């Protein structure tokens, strides 16, 4: 064998070992190269439009059960570091990129993105036409899919498709237990003003949320998603907070009942993302699945109270069904409610505000560690609401 043919054989062997396949549940197949860990992963295939912040995206627990496609073509050039993760690990079920960076170029980087994916066992694929996959999802909606690499990629399309179609759909899935803490974790308040304890039900919380609450003077008690109303009352909280998280809000009845009990007790409430959907359900509203969801850091939202348009970070596949104009009554007895924020791309409900009780929520992410920060004022609005409520309680005492 000549040296040229030997080199060609070695290259063929490398490509064989490193090839990967993406299969969508409609039977569409994309052939590419393995990225991250090798093996098989299944989940709902979704796309994120952020051009930056891939480390924050991957470590967002809301992506549990989902294979994330980055629409930005070049990913990984700044590597990953130990300062920017939003949680204790990468939660995405899989990862799809077009052109992974061959080198890491950032003074803060501790390792490459490829190495981080492999360390956390995240199976990915690169080298495919991510624009084509995005357009298919936009046209046909988010769907189940699978990434297969290593020996798994040797199976026929029919065999792989059968595996994908046996995977659970996102509708009806309760994933909170997979991402929540198992015991309460406390972060003390920072600054001179102390507003008391905030009971945070961890449905998939991000570290930036905890930091924002602590910086506003709250002792942040991050509690397991299995916590009861008695567990919440045991810390004598000044307020209740529901975090973002993965899964279908229609499958979280226990969290809805806990919230209703807290609202009836007059506890001030703030919810974001998944917490917004559960607040809607607690008020008596329905939720529904969006065709392909909102995921990225460039989603325009209008605050009806101020008329201001904010560019927001979002990651959700479900939404609240509510009248976007006027005021309506809560069927669960919580008084008058209004939609406070509206998504300008599709008129989706992006926030709810109670007019007779101290409670509000938004569908997007005001903490947005990777940016934008247009909506960070909502944490100030929450702190002010708690101050006013505490002051009224003191007056009536």
The per-residue pLDDT for 395 is 53
Task: Tell me, rounded to whole angstroms, the distance of Cα 64 from its chain centroid.
Answer: 8
Annotated binding-site residues for L-glutamine read 62, 245, 247, 274, 277, 315, 317-318
Q: Does the pLDDT value for residue 2 go beyond 60?
A: no
Q: What does residue 174 show for φ and ψ, rounded to 5 degrees?
A: -105, 110
**What is the secondary structure of 150-163 as a DSSP string?**
GGGGGS-HHHHHHH
pLDDT digits (tens, 9 = 90+) for 219-265: 999 999 999 999 999 999 999 999 999 999 999 999 999 999 999 99
Q: At what angle do helices 274-283 and 253-264 cross, to 10 degrees?
A: 70
Q: Does the pLDDT value for residue 17 go beyond 90?
A: no
Distance between CA atoms of residues 93 and 174, nearest Å: 15
Distance between CA atoms of residues 107 and 120, nearest Å: 23
- Write the CB contacts of 371 (distance below 8 Å, at least 6 apart in sequence): 52, 53, 297, 313
The per-residue pLDDT for 176 is 95
CA distances from 385 to 22, 267, 268, 366 (A): 48, 11, 7, 16
Distance between CA atoms of residues 215 and 219, nearest Å: 9
Residues 178, 212, 324, 46: is their CA dihedral positive or negative?
A: negative
Average pLDDT (337-365) is 97
Tokens for 46?
């979704």
Q: What is the mean pLDDT of the chain?
A: 92
Beta bridge partners of 144: 44
Distance between CA atoms of residues 271 and 205, nearest Å: 11
pLDDT digits (tens, 9 = 90+) for 125-180: 999 999 999 999 999 999 999 999 999 999 999 999 999 999 999 999 999 999 99
The per-residue pLDDT for 85 is 85
pLDDT digits (tens, 9 = 90+) for 256-310: 999 999 999 999 999 999 999 999 999 999 999 999 999 988 899 999 989 999 9
Task: Indicate the SS3 state at residue 237.
Answer: coil
pLDDT digits (tens, 9 = 90+) for 35-82: 999 999 999 999 998 888 899 999 999 999 999 999 999 999 999 999
Tokens for 104?
């890491």
User: Residues of the chain with pLDDT > 90: what percent?
Assistant: 85
Neighbours of 224 (CB within 10 A): 16
The per-residue pLDDT for 54 is 92
Report yes or no: 276 and 378 within 8 Å, Cβ to Cβ. no
Q: What band does 394 get if pLDDT is binned at 50, 70 and 90?
A: low
Average pLDDT (115-129) is 96
pLDDT digits (tens, 9 = 90+) for 199-217: 999 999 999 999 999 999 9
Distance between CA atoms of residues 52 and 55, nearest Å: 9
The residues annotated with a catalytic role in the active site are 273, 365, 367
Distance between CA atoms of residues 231 and 162, nearest Å: 44
The per-residue pLDDT for 373 is 84
Distance between CA atoms of residues 367 and 374, nearest Å: 10
**What is the secondary structure of 298-333 as a DSSP string?**
EEEEEETTT--EEEEEEEEEEEEE--SSSEEE-TTS
Task: Tell me, rounded to whole angstroms, the distance of Cα 279 from its chain centroid.
Answer: 17
Neighbours of 204 (CB within 10 A): 27
What domains are there in the chain, each with its CATH number? Answer: 18-165 (3.50.30.20), 176-396 (3.40.50.880)
pTM metric for this prediction: 0.91
Beta bridge partners of 339: 352
Q: Does the pLDDT value for residue 20 go beyond 50?
A: yes
Distance between CA atoms of residues 300 and 344, nearest Å: 6
């Amino acid at each position: 064998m000549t040296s040229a043919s030997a080199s060609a054989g070695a290259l063929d062997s490398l490509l064989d070992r490193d090839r990967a396949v993406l299969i969508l549940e409609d039977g569409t197949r994309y052939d590419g190269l393995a990225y991250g860990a090798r093996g098989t992963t299944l989940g709902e295939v979704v796309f994120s439009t952020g051009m930056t912040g891939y480390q924050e995206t991957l470590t967002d627990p809301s992506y549990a059960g989902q294979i994330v496609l980055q629409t930005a073509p070049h990913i990984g050039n700044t590597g990953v570091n130990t300062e920017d993760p939003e949680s204790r690990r990468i939660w995405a079920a899989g990862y799809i990129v077009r052109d992974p960076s061959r080198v890491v170029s950032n003074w803060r980087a501790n390792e490459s993105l490829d190495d981080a994916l492999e360390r956390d066992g995240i199976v990915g694929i690169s080298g495919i036409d991510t624009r084509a996959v995005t357009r298919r999802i936009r046209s046909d909606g988010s769907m189940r899919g699978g990434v297969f690499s290593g020996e798994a990629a040797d199976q026929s399309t029919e065999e792989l498709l059968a595996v994908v179609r046996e995977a659970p759909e996102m509708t009806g899935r309760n994933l909170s237990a997979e991402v929540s803490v198992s015991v309460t974790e406390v972060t003390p308040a920072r600054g001179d003003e102390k507003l008391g304890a905030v009971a945070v039900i961890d449905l998939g919380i991000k570290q930036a949320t905890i930091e924002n609450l602590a910086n506003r003077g709250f002792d942040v008690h991050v509690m397991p998603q299995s916590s009861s109303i008695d567990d919440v009352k045991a810390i004598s909280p000044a307020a209740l907070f529901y975090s973002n998280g993965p899964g279908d809000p229609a499958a979280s009845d226990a969290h809805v009942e806990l919230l209703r009990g807290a609202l009836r007790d007059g506890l001030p409430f703030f919810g974001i993302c998944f917490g917004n959907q559960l607040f809607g359900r607690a008020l008596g509203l329905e939720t529904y699945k969006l065709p392909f969801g909102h995921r990225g850091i460039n989603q325009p939202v209008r605050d009806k109270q101020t008329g201001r348009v904010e560019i927001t970070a979002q990651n959700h596949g479900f939404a609240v069904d509510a009248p976007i104009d006027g005021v309506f009554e809560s069927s669960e007895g919580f008084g008058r409610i209004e939609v406070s924020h509206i998504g300008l791309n599709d008129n989706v409900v992006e926030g709810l505000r109670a007019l007779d009780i101290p409670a509000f929520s938004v569908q997007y992410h005001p903490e947005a560690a990777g940016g934008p920060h247009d909506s960070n004022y909502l944490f100030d609005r929450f702190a002010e609401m708690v101050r006013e409520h505490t002051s009224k309680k003191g007056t009536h005492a």
